[in-house]
Chains A and B, each alone.
Chain A
């Protein structure tokens, strides 16, 4: 099965707290890509990161960091020192390829609310 699970439906934190969004995936492919997207209140899906299954190094971009662990099929996303502007729905996704086509399989999303 090709599946992404985001067990946390909603998370609420106070500004400056660190928060981790969980993502667990299932895939039968040996090579695959994982993604995180952010959906702010304006509605568009904003690309955050793409990770190749061969690259297990953690990545840091400013206050954002990602922990990819193949052993547990997880690709968790941490926001350090959260800010109100981080409030959004965050989606984890798995790229699936089949017969010359490709698509993203999304989790249900985690709604993050950062309170001042």
Chain B
């Protein structure tokens, strides 16, 4: 069974440009999460989807970030326009059921804004 897959693995963009990150969760997992780790700091929650609905987006830093999950399958996270402080590793995770199950993480996308 395929795990959580994220594309691209690395992205280097200039300040002001737009970048779109993609996450393919494990098949059948209704819950999808985005997290971010800025250099040297904690991994922080961004948002939680249940199927195509945003259950909690309290961790989204500002309105330059837009997450979507059309059809309840894969998800995208767009940053527009990117700023230097957006640099970090963006993780996606999925879980089958809300509650007791552990979340399975992807390998992350390392975003560098220069």
Residue positions of A touching B, CB distance < 8 A:
4, 33, 35, 37, 42-47, 50, 91, 93, 98-109
User: Quick check: which of B15-23, B60-68, B72-80, B97-105 contacts chain A, the rest being far away?
Assistant: B97-105
Report the Cα distance A53→B111, complex, angstroms: 36
Interface range for B: 20 to 34
Count of A-B residue pairs with CB < 8 Å: 61
Closest 7 A/B residue pairs (Cβ): A101-B56, A45-B105, A44-B107, A103-B45, A106-B43, A101-B55, A43-B107
A interface, over-half SS: strand
Residues in chain B near residue A47, CB distance under 8 A: 102-105
Question: Contact: B33 with A43, CB < 8 Å?
Answer: no
Min C-beta distance of B54 to chain A, whole Å:
9
Question: Contact: B108 with A43, CB < 8 Å?
Answer: yes
Question: Contact: B102 with A103, CB < 8 Å?
Answer: no
